[in-house]
Structure 1
Amino acid sequence: MTPAEIIEELRLPKPTVHRLLAYLEDQGFLAKNIDGKSYLPGARFREMAIGAMHASLSNLPSRNVLVGLNQQIGETCNLAVPDKDEMVYVDRVETHWPLRIALHIGSRVPLHATAAGKVTLAFLSPDALQRYLLTGTRQAITARTITDPDPLRAEIDQVKAQGYATDQEELVEGMIAVAVPVLDSRNNFCATLSFHAPTQRLSLQQGLAHLNDLRHAAEKLGQLI
């Protein structure tokens, strides 16, 4: 949420809200989004949330959505949220297959090399995306990782047009992933839902056959937020 949205919701004076936001950011409970304007849950808040989730995973409605998606697809399903220039996995349901790629809850992955990250970049404002593309360095994690600004911008434009993103061995060699956005009741972007699988078992084309399942599950998650 942006400060303006928070002021409208809480009906508090603007200086008071800005002081509270500054304090919560300083304490690690909030963090500035990559757009430089809105706020996301910070590291300390996520640590508390993940701890609570571990204590009662089976009782969380969102967990049931992930479990259902995992049963439909048969591969590891992930819920992730952005934190600056990274994605953080806040929940996941692992595949039952012995051959799997383990990325644990709380793991951080870069935006540019993941399907979830590219979905997040697609929801940035033009100015925020421009800043991201022109500042910092992006590591080539595999031979397929897109690091240069122009090809990455073209990839993000494609994600915007089609409504989903893919990872074709860009984070881990031998792994594909597909991700879609999770939108809240106000149609605001708040998280990503994805699945990943080894290429020995699932090609990207086969993975895209599950796109409707992924989108339907994302809609269910959005209704819970």
Structure 2
Amino acid sequence: MDDTKLTVRAVERALDILSLFTDETELSLTEIAAKTELHKSTVHRLLASLEGKGYLVRNAETEKYRIGFRIWELAANMSQSDDPGVLLQPEMERLRDSLGETISLYVRDGNERIRIQAVQSNQAIRRVAPIGARLPLSVGASSKVLIAFAEPDEQAQLLQELEWASPADRDAFVGQLGDIRRLGYATSIEEREPGAAAVSAPIYNRAHKLVAALGVSGPSNRLTLEKMKEHAMLIIEGANRMGKMLK
């Protein structure tokens, strides 16, 4: 194998290692080797390079690695005008203050949705929504929105490719899509997580392209179906305001 291919492989492996930290806060060398299916000696060399460049930091006591400050420096240079998570945060905070529940922003990535921004409720009992979490598209209010308002061809492909717990779950999901498009929002109660409920509406940009789902979530004993119906128009109006801010 020539030097160019070796260099490219090393870069790909290093990026694979960094990608593990989208789901984990700290990882040991052994854990990283297991997750990447690479030999420990190879992982050790890559970790040394990433640590040397400041992309990872090793805890001397636990010998586990975490994201380094270089990553945050790169993130700080993202264009705020192009980042909906940054641009829409003030409107999300406004909606949080109005409804009293946690507000999340989701985008679709392949057959998953990613929470790219979240504003936590100020209530003592609240739904905590970690930014960067990847969630299945087959369950949840925001998943329904991202599929219900997708282009027909795209929607058909997603419904065919997604993994479902059972055929009945798929049928129930598909059966709600028409009503969701008609009403302009979707709801879910304890579908993905016991004790949690959510309501979501689509965000379209000024070119009328679906760019995200705006989700409101909280404890199911407080965010009841009746309460979600009461909130629906405020959420749709909030999503419309946010959409006008996006190109």
TM-score, normalised to structure 1, is: 0.68
Compute the displacement of 1:63 (Å): 1.1
- Indicate the residue corresponding to 2:61 in structure 1: none
Larger RCO (alpha carbons 8 Å, 6+ apart): 1
Bigger CA radius of gyration: 2
- Looking at structure 2, the residues matched to 100 and 168 of structure 1 have their Cα atoms a distance apart, in angstroms, of 15
Is 1:192 equivalent to 2:213 in the alignment?
yes
2:176 partner letter: E
Q: Is 1:105 the equivalent of 2:131?
A: yes
The answer for the alignment partner of 2:22 in structure 1 is: none
Other-structure match for 1:209: 230
In the alignment, residue 65 of structure 1 is paired with which amino acid?
E
Which amino acid letter does the alignment assign opposite residue 131 of structure 1? Answer: Q
AA in 1 matched with 2:149: F
- Does the 8 Å contact 2:106/2:213 carry over to 1? yes
> Is 1:51 paired with 2:75?
yes
Structure 1 residues 77-114: Cα deviation after superposition (integer angstroms, max 9, x where no partner): 01111111111111111011222222200011111211
CA distance in 2, matches of 1:106, 1:50: 16
Q: Look up the match of 1:4.
A: none
* Distance in 2 separating the partners of 1:136 and 1:112: 7
- Conserved 8 A contact 2:121-2:127: no
| Residue of structure 1 in register with 2:108 after alignment | 82
Runs of at least 4 residues off by over 4 Å: 47-50
CA distance in 2, matches of 1:198, 1:178: 12
RMSD after superposition? 2.9
Q: Give the Cα–Cα distance (whole angstroms) in 2 for the partners of residues 95 and 114 of structure 1.
A: 19
The percentage of aligned residue pairs carrying the same residue is 26
Structure 1 residues 135 and 223: alpha-carbon distance in aligned structure 2, compared to 1, 3 A threshold = closer
Alignment of 1:72-221 (within 5 A): 72-139=98-165, 148-221=169-242
Q: Give the number of equivalent residue pairs.
A: 173
Q: Which runs of 5+ in 2 are unaligned?
A: 1-14, 17-70
Contact 1:50 1:90 in 2 (8 A): no
Q: Secondary structure at the match of 1:155?
A: helix
Unmatched segments (≥5 aa) in structure 1: 1-26, 29-46, 141-145
Distance 1:211 1:53 in 2: 35
Amino acid at match of 1:132: L
Equivalent position SS for 2:88: helix
More helix by share: 2
